[in-house]
Structure 1
Amino acid sequence: MKIKDRLALYFTLISTLVLIGVLTMVYFTFVKFMQSEFFERLTDRTMVTAKLYLEADEISAEALDGVRQQYLVKLNGEVTRIYNDKNAATFIGDDQQFWTAQTVNEVRKQKKIEYTEGNRQVVGIYYSDNQGNFVILASAIDHGTITRLEKLWKIMMVVFLIIFIGLLLSGRWIAERILSPLNVFIDQVKGIKSNNLDFRVDEGNHKDEIYLLAQNFNDLIAHLEHAFILQKTFVANASHELRTPVTRLIIGAEIALAQERSKEDYQKSLQGVLEDADKLENIISSLLVLAQADLEYGENRTEALRIDELIWKLQQEWNLKAGKNKFIVNLKDLPMQEESLTIQCNPTLLQIALDNIISNALKFSDQEAVSCTLEVTTAGIHIDITDRGIGMTAEQLQHIFRPFYTSASKEAHAGTGMGLYMAHKIISLYHGTISVKSEKGIGTTFTIQFSKL
């Protein structure tokens, strides 16, 4: 059974039980009220009888009977008796012993009694007079109340059925209304696949249990997305970063083995292979740190790095790799204090991030010169990397830091879509920010900032 059906059923059952309780209470309260009212009428009847028969000494019993029948409306099945000290019926013409001596004595004892025999209600009073001590008993059947109770019962049954149906329908409507966000949540969850883990379900505006469910589900999807991206991208990351040093290792070994060489040449070749292997080891270690970044391991493996020294190192390597003056560095009034130029980070990992941005700039500018401006202000370290490439549209700028996204329009610009994603992850890992401005056909500027702690 669906939750909304269970909610509607439980709501209806509880409301129905409450309704039955209320109707039952109303019914029996009405019964007691009508009985009490009829008892009062019978009590009045006994008192009137006492006044007529016991205090009107000058009037004969026959005359009193005539007055009683003329002016007192006879009740249904009415029986009235006056009993003397010997418990014998007297005064009233009908002297049949309607009640037992035990009942009469009970009235003498309690002075007044009220009780019910089937449909008949009975009232008895003890009355002391100059003629003696008497017991007056009166009883009748309240047909009016019986008729009213039958009508009331029928009305209550109709009302109960109408309210029950209304509760059932309204309960289902309320359940559907309350759980409608859950239906939306279910429909949205059905659409989540391995290829759109970046999708998040609507959490809504109500701070209720469904909101908490959606919020926790989104957190879970975020963790799954990160884990899935790590699994999918590690090979791509490794391929993206390891291709050049592995190629250099292979080429160096092939050149060394191509012909006989002197001992010095072999040593030089092996030294180059050793350097490339050492760089390869650093890159692999850095990739592992990147993979662990979301698990909050990589942040602890840091050391102090002077950013100007890293920029000079990058200029030297890129001018050797891409050509002289392909990477131009501009420094703006750098401070003398070393701590103002220092960043706490993993040097190899941060170099990978900057290498990715520079490589991307050179690629999309078709190997035109790329400039880097380093400035240190009171706010922190500010790095601008600018190219004169093809630029990007506003829509492309919204996606460039997503994994596997590439805006390449020709084969020379093709890539894995991981470089800028890695750069963004690494820079964010060390509490930096990266932003980009671009104009189509003019060029692009990546701005990296490390705030002063």
Structure 2
Amino acid sequence: MKIKDRIALYFTLISTTMLLAVLFTIYLIFMKFLQSDFFERLTDRTMVTAKLYLEADEISREALNNVRHQYLQKLNGEVTRIYDYKNKATFIGDTTQYWTKSTIEKVRKNGRLQYTEGERQVVGIYYKDNQGDFVILASAHDSGSHNRLNKLLKIMVFVFLLISVFILLLSRWIAEKMLKPLHQFMLEVNKVGSKNMEFRVLETDNKDEINLIAKSFNQLMEELEQAFILQKTFVANASHELRTPLTRIMMTGELALTQNRTPEDYQKVLGTMLEDTSRMEHIITGLLTLAKMDLELIRSQMNPVNLHSILLNIQANWQKEENLQVQIIDGITAEIAPIISGNQVLLQIALDNIISNGFKFSNQQEVTCTLSDFNDHFIIQIQDQGPGIPKSELDEIFKPFYTRSKDSGHQGDGMGLYMAHKIIDLFNGTIAVTHADLSGCTISITLPKL
């Protein structure tokens, strides 16, 4: 059974149960009211009978009977008796002993008595008169009240059925309206697949459970997207970063084996290979750290990083390995070193990816890195001399697998700027394109001071 059907059913059962209890209570109250009213009418009959027969001494019995029948409405199955001190019926012309002596004595003892006997109601009073002490008993069948109760019961059954149907339809409508966001959520979830892991369900300003589920789902999708992307791109990233040191190790080894060399030359070769191997170890450590995407782990491995040193190291590596020019402009005039909290290997990977894009799209022309100080942040601006980036694509360049390499005739997997964005974000920094036109592109990186 669907949730909306269960909600409608439960709501209908609860509502109809309460309605049934209310109607039953009303029926009982009305029944007791009619019963009490009929007892009062019977009591009035006994009092009128006492006045007519016991106090109207000068009027004959026949005249009293005529008055009684003329002015008192005859009740259904009415029986009235006046019993003297010997518990015998008298006065009203019917001497039949209708009630037992025990009942008469009970009235005499209690002074007043009323009870129900089958479908009849009985009232008795003890009346003292100058002619003696008498017991007056009257009973009748309250057919009018029974007819009213039967009509009320039929009306209540009809109203109960009508309201029950209305509540069922109304509860289904309410349940469907309440669960409409959940239905929309399910439709959106069905759109999620391996090809659109960046998809997110719609979140609203409501603070209900469905919106909380949507937020939790989006958080889960965020983590799954990162894990999915990192799983598919880790090998490509490792190849991208490890290609240069591996090539240098292989070239150095092959060059050393081309001819016999002195022990000093071999030591120099081994030192160079050891240096490249150490660099590979740092790169692998950084890539594995990035792949884990454990923010607490990464933050626990953060250390003070000198931006001067890392930029000069990047400049030397590009000049040494690719013979490409990276110009460093130091815009910090203070004597205090520009120190941030981060991971040196990951930060160098991010900057190398941006600089590599600058060289690639400017046909290996010079790339300029400017370091400046702004309040409580350091800003690194990397400027190339390429064709720039169209404004329509500025919001896309930091997304995974997005690349313009195919259109420009270059090779690329669309992961360089994405990795740079993720790394800078881990260091609580920001990265954005601040200038993009035909004269080149400038990417600004803002990092908080330590």
Scaled to the shorter chain, the TM-score interval is: over 0.9
Answer yes or no: is 1:384 the counterpart of 2:381.
yes
Tell whether the 8 Å contact from 1:333 to 1:376 is kept in structure 2 after alignment. yes
Answer yes or no: is 1:287 the counterpart of 2:287.
yes
Q: 2:444 aligns with which of 424, 447, 452?
A: 447
Aligned-pair distance for 1:125? 0.9
For 1:426, the equivalent position in structure 2 comes to 423
Aligned-pair distance for 1:27? 1.1
Answer yes or no: is 1:334 the counterpart of 2:347.
no
Give unmatched runs, 5+ long, in structure 1.
none
C-alpha separation between the residues in 2 aligned to 1:258 and 1:220?
56
Answer yes or no: is 1:308 the counterpart of 2:308.
yes
Provide, for residues 361-405 of structure 1, a one-character-per-residue CA deviation record: whole Å limited to 9, x for no partner: 111222122111111233321111111212222332212222222
Aligned-pair distance for 1:260? 4.5
Q: 1:356 aligns with which of 353, 376, 382?
A: 353
Q: 2:410 aligns with which of 395, 409, 413?
A: 413
Amino acid at match of 1:328: Q
Aligned-pair distance for 1:123? 1.0
Identity value in percent? 55
SS of aligned partner of 1:413: coil
For 1:194, the equivalent position in structure 2 comes to 194
C-alpha separation between the residues in 2 aligned to 1:374 and 1:391?
21
Change in Cα spacing, 1:232 to 1:290, as seen in structure 2 (3 Å) is same
Of residues 43-52 and 114-123 in structure 1, the stretch that sits farther from structure 2 once superposed is: 114-123
Amino acid at match of 1:61: R
CA RMSD of aligned residues (A): 1.9
For 1:248, the equivalent position in structure 2 comes to 248
For 1:139, the equivalent position in structure 2 comes to 139
For 2:366, the equivalent position in structure 1 comes to 369
C-alpha separation between the residues in 1 aligned to 2:409 and 2:298?
34
Tell whether the 8 Å contact from 1:396 to 1:407 is kept in structure 2 after alignment. no
SS of aligned partner of 1:123: strand
Amino acid at match of 2:333: L
Equivalent residues in 2 for 1:87-166 (5 A)? Answer: 87-166=87-166
Amino acid at match of 2:440: G
SS of aligned partner of 2:128: strand
Aligned-pair distance for 1:248? 1.9
C-alpha separation between the residues in 2 aligned to 1:52 and 1:224?
99
Aligned-pair distance for 1:306? 1.9
C-alpha separation between the residues in 1 aligned to 2:206 and 2:345?
46
For 1:233, the equivalent position in structure 2 comes to 233
C-alpha separation between the residues in 2 aligned to 1:377 and 1:295?
26
C-alpha separation between the residues in 2 aligned to 1:87 and 1:413?
127
For 2:177, the equivalent position in structure 1 comes to 177
Tell whether the 8 Å contact from 1:393 to 1:438 is kept in structure 2 after alignment. no
SS of aligned partner of 2:77: coil
Tell whether the 8 Å contact from 1:335 to 1:376 is kept in structure 2 after alignment. no
The alignment's TM-score, normalised by the length of structure 2, stands at 0.95
C-alpha separation between the residues in 2 aligned to 1:300 and 1:154?
78
C-alpha separation between the residues in 1 aligned to 2:409 and 2:270?
33
Change in Cα spacing, 1:411 to 1:247, as seen in structure 2 (3 Å) is farther
C-alpha separation between the residues in 2 aligned to 1:424 and 1:382?
15
Give unmatched runs, 5+ long, in structure 2.
none
Answer yes or no: is 1:400 the counterpart of 2:397.
yes
SS of aligned partner of 1:297: helix
C-alpha separation between the residues in 1 aligned to 2:150 and 2:233?
81
Tell whether the 8 Å contact from 2:329 to 2:368 is kept in structure 1 after alignment. yes
For 1:5, the equivalent position in structure 2 comes to 5
For 1:298, the equivalent position in structure 2 comes to 298
Aligned-pair distance for 1:255? 2.7
SS of aligned partner of 2:256: helix
C-alpha separation between the residues in 1 aligned to 2:42 and 2:371?
110
C-alpha separation between the residues in 1 aligned to 2:187 and 2:166?
30
Tell whether the 8 Å contact from 1:226 to 1:294 is kept in structure 2 after alignment. no
Aligned-pair distance for 1:203? 3.0
